[in-house]
Structure 1
Amino acid sequence: MPTGVDVVAVAAHPDDLEITCGGTLALLVRQGYRVAMIDLTNGEPTPRGSPEIRAAEAEAARQVLGVPWRICVGLSNRLLMDSPENRFALATWFRRLRPQIVLAMAGRTPAASPDHYQAQLLIEAARFYSQLTKWDDRFANTPPYRVPHLVYAPVPADAEIRHWHTTFIVDISDTFEQKLQAVRCYRSQFDEARWERLRHFLSSYNGYLGSRCGFRYGELFALPQPMGTGNFVQTVLGGQPASQAGITSTAATHPLTPPDTLPHS
């Protein structure tokens, strides 16, 4: 089992992470980061699936994304709750993997599954539980570990309008097709008609997000607190020298807007 991973992404069911942030997970792997995926449940029962089918689909999707490790905690689909015992189970994995970042699918989806919001609450609580002392027997005798960072991957169809402290969009232009291939592995969940609707939605939604930052496709992320910086210019420009970002001593373009999309007056 790996320890000291960079990013652990967590969601309720197989296919949740692929749909929400699959392009970013594939990009992180390409960039050399150690990435693990955690499914809280196996996603079953569903009308056309089975535990064996879903496990095979999840493994196929993992291979498409190139993520080295995928774990199923084995909690109950449809009955998933932010309960003490479930917190212990997930926190034990945080203690084992010791990630720098926990990436949590976030949002309320009452028309889809209440599991998604319960998963968000569970991930938040398990991150806190992971650091608790004098309770090692509840965490399979694993040593306490404080996860430094929590990042949210907001669901596209949240039932609430959320005002996050900080949001940012990751450029997944080079991994968007890889994301679609990973989602397509879940044929038990998406027949041809449902797949075409989902493919169109992802192309439109990720295309919209990307276009806001000058990318072809993007994925949205949020932080539970403001992002601090000691360097205003590097934070805004993404580390580029000012001259490369179009900034001179006498004029400036908006650093967050691609030059060819600036309004003309």
Structure 2
Amino acid sequence: MKLDILVFGAHPDDAELGAGGTIAKEVSRGKKVGIVDLTRGELGTRGSAEIRDQEAANAAKILGIVVRENMEFADGFFVNDKEHQMEIIKMIRKYRPEIVLCNAIDDRHIDHPKGSKLVSDACFLSGLIKIDTKMDGDDKWQDAWRPKVVYHFIQWKNLEPDFAVDVSGFIDKKTEAILAYSSQFFDPKSDEPATPISSKNFIDSVNYRARDLGRLIGVEHAEGFTVERCLAVDNLDDLI
């Protein structure tokens, strides 16, 4: 299955938090979007890997994506090496996306910048024809494929975006997808330990950050991204 957009997140809920509005908007435009989670989030203070598996499936239905997979890398301990790069290359060649979205280039959680660099490096390597890959259980060699662009969403740290996507009208869908992870976020009835993302302030911050970025570009809500290449527009009318 060829996808238009493939979103990688180090943990289940990273994609929703960083790019949930953009994903929902692109799906509404008829784009085929998929998510690949690098880990099951098994080291998370709240919930469990099994709970997060189900929450991720529920969030996928809310966003309307066509596929979601989990690489089952070791939460907290995966590294950017050949073994992990080869597994990501297989996913890129399997889905052949034009656009890849992935973790923030710098962030509080160590897995976020690690995942960011791992995916970015794998996107480049995936285009090299002398790297041979097969999906497990498949005798057919995969064709080389390199996405046209890699964009990094913004997470805990308030990084300066290189561009912003107008997600006005999709913030409620984003919030619904985030709250599908009920084990992770604010629940006044929960007796689980408090974490930096389980407070009401954190879930409120998702909205007010989107509103503030929207204010800066003259819309209601927006999500920010950073890039590793020079941005280009076809003409000045492309800017909003």
Using the size of structure 1 for normalisation, the TM-score is: 0.80
Structure 2, unaligned stretches of length 5 or more? Answer: 189-197
**Residue ranges of structure 1 left out of the alignment (5+ in a row):** 239-265
The letter of the residue matching 1:120 is: S
Give the Cα–Cα distance (whole angstroms) in 1 for the partners of residues 11 and 234 of structure 2: 39
Look up the match of 1:60: 58
Residue 199 (str. 1) matches residue 194 (str. 2): no
The number of equivalent residue pairs is 227
In structure 1, the residue matched to 2:128 is 132
Query: Aligned ranges for residues 8-157 of structure 1 at < 5 Å?
Result: 8-110=6-108, 113-137=109-133, 141-157=141-157
- Displacement of 1:40 in angstroms is 0.7
Matched to 1:62, the amino acid is A
State the shift of 1:28 in Å. 0.4
Whole-angstrom distance in 1 between the partners of 2:100 and 2:199:
29
Q: Which amino acid is the alignment partner of residue 24 of structure 1?
A: T
Runs of 4+ in 1 over 6 A off after TM superposition: none
> Percent identity, aligned pairs only?
29
1:245 paired residue number: none
The question of whether the paired residues in 1 share the 8 Å contact of 2:185 and 2:203 is answered with no
Aligned partner of 2:129: which letter? Answer: T
1:24-67 residue CA offsets vs partner (Å, 9 max, x unmatched) = 10010001111111101111132332222111000011111111
RMSD of aligned Cα (Å):
1.9
What displacement does 1:222 show? 2.4
Conservation of the 8 A alpha-carbon contact between 2:35 and 2:68:
yes
- Please give the alpha-carbon distance, in whole angstroms, between the structure 2 residues aligned to 1:61 and 1:195: 20
Distance 1:6 1:58 in 2: 20
- Contact conserved, 1:88 with 1:138, CA < 8 A, in 2? no
Give the distance between the partners of 2:156 and 2:77, measured in 1 at CA.
Answer: 23
Is the aligned partner of 1:173 residue 2:186? no
Higher RCO (CA 8 Å, separation ≥ 6 residues):
2
The equivalent position to 2:179 in structure 1, one of 184, 197, 202, is 184
2:220 counterpart of 1:213: no
Moved more, 138-147 or 89-98: 138-147
SS of residue paired to 2:31 = coil
- Report the equivalent of 1:257: none
Measured after TM superposition, the shift of residue 227 of structure 1 is 1.9
Note closer, same or farther for the CA distance 1:45–1:235 as it changes in structure 2 (3 Å cut).
Answer: same
